[in-house]
Each structure stands twice: as C-alpha cells, then as structure tokens.
Amino acid sequence: MNALLQWAANNRPFLFFIGRFLITFFGLSILYALYLKYVELEGDLDLVTYWVSRGSHELARALGVADCEWACFMDGCYVGRPGHMVNILEGCNGLKLAIVYAAYVIGIGGWNWRSLLQMAVGLVVVQFFNVIRIGSLIALRDGGGDMYFYFLKYVFGVWIYGSVIVLWLLKPRIDRWLGQK
C-alpha cells in the first residue's frame, strides 16, 4: 500500500492526465450520445455519418466506381453500385476515435487554445483517413473477390486506429510547432 502511495506521489502529473483523459472522453461521448438521441427523435441521420458517406462516395467515384449510387436513411447510408453496396452505419463514422484522440490531447495539455486547435485538426485528419478507408472499401467491393473481406477485417482496422496512434506520437512535435515547451 505504501509503495502504491509512493508511486502515486511520484507520478501525480500522470494521474492528473488519466483523470482529464477519461473525464474528457466520457464527457464528449455523452454529448455525442445526446446528439445522436436528438437526431433520432428528429427522424434524421447524424451529420458526421452523412458527410463521411458523401466523401466516401466521391472518393469511390474518383477511384473508378462507375454509376456509384449514394442513398441515406435514418439508420445509415448505402454507397456503391446496386448489388455491391456498402452500408455505412453510425459506428463507421470514426467520430468515437476522434473523441479518443481529443481526450488524449486535452489530457496532456489541458483546456487551452492549442489543445482545441489540435482537437479540430485531429477530427479532420481522422475523418480524412476514414473517408479513404470507406472509399477504398466501396471500390474493393465493386471490384469483387476476397480482397474486400481481408481489407475490411484487417487492413482498414489497423489503418483507422493507426491514424490516431500516429497523431498521438506526433503530438510532441506538433506542440513544438505551436510554440509549447
């Protein structure tokens, strides 16, 4: 017990970080859940899923998916050619990953303009990676074959989680760019 208290006393900044990290994560998650509840009551689709699916649709077209269709409903969007459509649900929109990234930034730096700027940029970067992920998925689904399943199961999971981890690893460098010691 004494050793634990000693460790806690020596690592007080880290414990503050963990506290801020978790409080921010759960706070932002609750806000997002309230927003989802609101759009559900309105009979609408959340804007993040809408824009991610729209971006993915454009990317899939740029990747050569001819006659790519895009239709959104209350529970998500369908993108691709008839018979090869990909269903983009709320859980695919990557916002929860952006929330984890934002919670880390706030956990390390606290609530200040640098953290808010990094939160906003992080949200855009994660969504950028997500649009590449889903757009490529639509193109692979359109092409047919087993590659779609391998990419869906392994590669794209690593891709989107990797984007958050790379942003975390770049954070000290970004802090230096922003003039933080």
Partner 1 sequence: MRWYLLGSRDMGRLRLRREILPYFEGMFEPHLDPVKIYMPQEVGKPAVPLDGGLTALLLAGGAAGYRQFKKKKKA
Residues making contact with partner 1 (CB under 8 A): 11, 13-14, 17-18, 21-22, 25, 29, 96-97, 100, 103-104, 107-108, 157, 161, 164-165, 168-169, 171-172
CA–CA distances in Å: residue 122 to residues 6, 101, 114:
36, 7, 12
In the complex, the smallest distance separating the C-beta of residue 180 from partner 1, rounded to whole angstroms, is 12
Q: Which single residue is written with the structure tokens 């808010």? A: 116
In the complex, the smallest distance separating the C-beta of residue 57 from partner 1, rounded to whole angstroms, is 25
Taking the C-alpha atoms of residue 84 and residue 131, their distance in angstroms, rounded to an integer, is 18
Q: Given the complex with partner 1, which of 35 and 61 has the nearer CB atom?
A: 35
Q: Given the complex with partner 1, which of 64 and 157 has the nearer CB atom?
A: 157
Q: Given the complex with partner 1, which of 64 and 91 has the nearer CB atom?
A: 91
CA-CA-CA-CA dihedral for 102, 104, 106, 109, to nearest 10: -130
Q: Given the complex with partner 1, which of 25 and 70 has the nearer CB atom?
A: 25
In the complex, the smallest distance separating the C-beta of residue 103 from partner 1, rounded to whole angstroms, is 7
Q: Given the complex with partner 1, which of 143 and 176 has the nearer CB atom?
A: 176
Structure tokens at 5: 């208290």
In the complex, the smallest distance separating the C-beta of residue 130 from partner 1, rounded to whole angstroms, is 13
Q: Given the complex with partner 1, which of 14 and 149 has the nearer CB atom?
A: 14
In the complex, the smallest distance separating the C-beta of residue 44 from partner 1, rounded to whole angstroms, is 19
Which phi-psi region, left, alpha or beta, contains residue 156 (left: φ > 0; alpha: ψ -120 to 50)? Answer: alpha
- Would you say 143 and 157 are in contact if contact means Cβ atoms under 8 Å apart? no
Taking the C-alpha atoms of residue 101 and residue 110, their distance in angstroms, rounded to an integer, is 13
In the complex, the smallest distance separating the C-beta of residue 110 from partner 1, rounded to whole angstroms, is 13
Structure tokens at 181: 């010691």
List of residues 6+ apart from 47 with CB closer than 8 A:
39
